[in-house]
Amino acid sequence: MEFPEAILFDLDGVILDTEPILSEAWSETSKEYNHDLSQDNLNELRGRKKVDCAKKLLEWINKDILLEDLLSTYKSKLGNKIFKAKPSKEL
C-alpha cells in the first residue's frame, strides 16, 4: 500500500471560504423551524463543529426537535452548495 506524502486538513477559511455557505445553510435550517438567525447568532456558530452548531440552534429554536432531525435538515439545506465554495482570500 502506498501512502501519500502529505495530507492537508482545511480548517474553515484556509483554502476554501466555506463560511458564507455554511451560514446560509444554518439560516435556511432555522427557517424550517420558524426561527430567524441574527447575524450575531451566525457569528456565534462560526468555526464550531457541526454538532455543536446544531445543539446551539436547538437552544435558540426552543422547540422539541431531535438533534438528528435538525442535522438531517441542515444536510439537505447544505446539499451541493459546499462545492461552490470560492478559494479563500488568504491564499
**Domains annotated on the chain, with CATH:** 16-87 (1.10.150)
Tell me the pLDDT tens digit for each residue of 33-62.
999 999 999 999 998 999 999 999 999 999
How much of the chain exceeds pLDDT 70, in percent?
91
pTM, two decimal places = 0.82
How much of the chain exceeds pLDDT 90, in percent?
63
Beta carbons within 10 angstroms of residue 91's beta carbon: 8
The confidence score (pLDDT) of residue 9 equals 67
Non-local (6+) Cβ contacts of 29 within 8 A are 57, 70, 73, 74, 77
CA distance 22 to 9: 18
Which residues are 87's β-sheet partners? 16
More confidently predicted of 9 and 53? 53
